[in-house]
A = this chain, B = another copy of it.
Amino acid sequence: MKDRKAKQQEVGQIAAQLRQQGNRVTPQRRAILRIIQEQEGHLSADEIYYLARREIPRLSLSTVYRTLDLLKDLHLVSELHLAGNHYLYEAQSGEHQHLVCVSCGKVVEFQCPHCSETHRQLAGRHGFKITGSRVELFGYCQECTSARSN
């Protein structure tokens, strides 16, 4: 887990990157970026909207979506679709996979570099050039498994 200072720096770097690529750095984008960076977990567009409005009360949801689209294009955030009808967003920070509890909704990240590599090779055999991946395993977490057996 990175400390606050590192994250502030990261937001700064990303802002610079945005500017370099001809995009403007607005307070809205800064706020959304920071919220995603500071949050360890995963956020829905609506949650980001809610949090960002504490700083920018007149922020609109469409700006959140537009900003997320932009950040997705730049591969700075990634979009997950875990359950129900909404997306979750998270800062792009290396390859990782998700464990999702279908009972309580908890999401745990884990790493499996070997599988990532294997997947990449297999994809290559099908002529695919991989740019991203999404691995989600569904099941019951420890707590929910215990709760269910009672």
Interface of A with B (CB < 8 Å)?
81, 97, 99, 101-102, 108, 110, 112, 114-115, 118-120, 122-123, 126-142, 145
- Chain A binding surface, main DSSP class: strand
**Contact (A119, B140) CB under 8 Å given A81-B81, A126-B99, A128-B99:** no
**Contact (A118, B127) CB under 8 Å given A134-B136, A135-B135, A138-B132:** no
Q: What's the Cα separation between A106 and B138 when bound, in Å? A: 25
Q: What's the Cα separation between A132 and B115 when bound, in Å? A: 17
Kindly report which residue of chain B lies nearest to residue A111, judged by CB atoms. B122
- Greatest chain B CB density within 10 A among A81, A132, A142 is at A81
Assess the B126–A131 pair: CB atoms within 8 A: no
Nearest chain B CB to A106 CB, angstrom units: 9
In the complex, 24 of the A-B residue pairs with CB atoms within 8 angstroms, ordered by the A residue number, are: A81-B81, A97-B119, A99-B126, A101-B128, A108-B126, A108-B128, A110-B123, A112-B115, A114-B118, A115-B118, A119-B137, A127-B141, A128-B137, A128-B140, A128-B141, A129-B139, A129-B140, A130-B137, A130-B139, A131-B139, A133-B136, A134-B136, A135-B135, A135-B136
